[in-house]
Structure 1
Amino acid sequence: MDEMEPVPWPPELKWAFIDQQFDLQHRHYVASFSSADFLILLNGSEPIGRLYVDSTAERWHVIDIGFLPQWRNLGKGQVMLKTIQRQARARSASVMLHVERRNVRAQALYRRLHFRETEAGDTHIQMQWTAS
């Protein structure tokens, strides 16, 4: 909703647009990554975010991870990624993800967790973690 703030639409139209975008993105992920799991991240019983991850190959793919605004910058993403790394290590797998070039905060987090850049495009950077 933060990104929609400057758009001069009424709130109900903004929410309808956001719902439509989520639906389209979800359909794309399900069609493109048929083996991936779609998980709702919880704090107790409260939904706080989502995770799309494909852990069926030797290189796991974190397709999307996101938290509701009030749950960002609290270390939840780091905890989730460390959990994924621990599980991948137990299966001798690496972990790959893509991050937007403009998302420098996420890039910094991934680098702290020992993800390394493996490819770079105009809009996204591919990063990979391998157990050492």
Structure 2
Amino acid sequence: MIDTREVVNLLVPFPEIDSVLAQRRHMYICISKDGSTKKFSKCQSFKPYMLLPNYTDVKCSIIENSNYERNPFSRKTMIDCDKVFKTINYSISRDKLTTIRPDVCKDLHSKIVENVAKQESQLVPLLTPELIALNERIV
């Protein structure tokens, strides 16, 4: 079972299971857990063009430098606070946890939760069969 603040590497069927984005593994931070429901924020490698005014893919984000005392990121990373991915009734194997560090620090977690709440982020439900189809060890 994955707990709040833990970070997993997953393939996620977003926007569609066949999309290019769904074929690339990303880190997802578990920002909340309530019974069998978990919510995650997506992380991706930071690229300088993300700071340009015409970049509109993500409006609210946190840019986090690599710092193993705070996070498991090996390079500068953007945490997307516009979208929250929701799973219900399944477990993600602990094999999916990041290896450098399994979680983010409490301070970073609090900043993510605060930004997500302020933003009224889009909730994206993830379907278990699609997640299982993409990831070899879920459950």
User: What is the TM-score of this pair, normalised by structure 2?
Assistant: 0.28
Structure with the bigger percentage of helix:
1
Bigger relative CO (Cα 8 Å, ≥ 6 apart): 2
Structure with larger Rg: 1
User: What is the TM-score of this pair, normalised by structure 1?
Assistant: 0.29
